């Protein structure tokens, strides 16, 4: 049986270089991630983290693929997500945590615009994380699109 995945495609009136900076630039990411910012040096094997306003880590991962202005991939491990329930509605025991999943951004120029494809995959069957992903990514990417096109994030405080 195939593993579950989440795929989201949007078209943005921007350039691949501007979108790349929006995906990888810490200060820029804080504007559409609701005050949280991505931190990494974007080298394969390097750490990637989403940092909350208080300095704590929301999730972490490892950079897998870096092709500037074309493709970015990293693992996604919500190690510190205390809001994540287990199957019975209780807190997740660290022993029962899911393995990291994978996030991939594919960037293509298309008719003077940019097509951004997000693929979040490598979830186990009956993933507890996938339902949150299906709500979170559309809000984040819609906010990113709005910020790049209008100068204002759609959901500045979405979290």
Residue 46: CB atoms within 10 A of its CB come to 13
Partnered with residue 10 across adjacent β-strands are 116
Structural domain for 15, as ranges: 6-150
Check residue 3 and give its pLDDT.
Answer: 81
According to the model, what pLDDT value does residue 126 have? 86
* Percent of the chain with pLDDT strictly greater than 70: 86
> pLDDT tens across 123-139, in order?
998 888 899 899 899 99
Distance of CA 122 to the CA centre of its chain: 14
pLDDT digits (tens, 9 = 90+) for 85-119: 444 444 555 556 788 999 999 999 999 999 999 99
Number of folded domains in the chain? Answer: 1
Determine, yes or no, domain membership for 61: yes
Confidence at residue 41, expressed as pLDDT on a 0 to 100 scale: 96
159 assigned to some structural domain: no
Predicted pLDDT at 97: 76
Q: Residue 121 is part of a domain; what is its CATH number?
A: 3.30.530.20
Beta bridge partner(s), residue 60: 49, 77
Q: Per the domain annotation, does 122 fall within a domain?
A: yes
* Tokens found for residue 32: 């559409």
Query: Residue 35 CB: number of other CB atoms within 10 A?
Result: 15
Residue 157 lies in a domain: no
- What would the pLDDT profile of 19-61 be if each residue is shown by its tens digit? 999 999 988 999 999 889 999 999 999 999 999 889 988 899 9
């Amino acid at each position: 049986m195939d593993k579950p995945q989440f795929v989201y495609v949007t078209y943005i009136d921007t350039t691949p270089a501007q979108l790349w900076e929006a995906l990888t630039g810490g200060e820029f990411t804080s504007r559409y991630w609701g005050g949280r910012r991505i931190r990494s040096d974007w080298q394969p094997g390097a750490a990637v983290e989403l940092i909350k306003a208080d300095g704590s880590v929301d999730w972490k991962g490892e950079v897998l693929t870096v092709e500037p202005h074309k493709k970015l991939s990293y693992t996604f491990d919500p190690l510190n997500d205390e809001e994540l329930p287990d199957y019975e509605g209780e807190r997740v025991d660290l022993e029962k945590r899911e393995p990291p999943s994978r996030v991939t951004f594919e960037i293509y120029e298309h008719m003077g615009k940019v097509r951004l494809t997000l693929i979040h995959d490598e979830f186990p069957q009956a993933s507890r994380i996938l339902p949150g992903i299906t709500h979170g990514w559309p809000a984040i990417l819609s906010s990113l699109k709005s910020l790049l096109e209008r100068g204002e994030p759609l959901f500045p405080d979405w979290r």
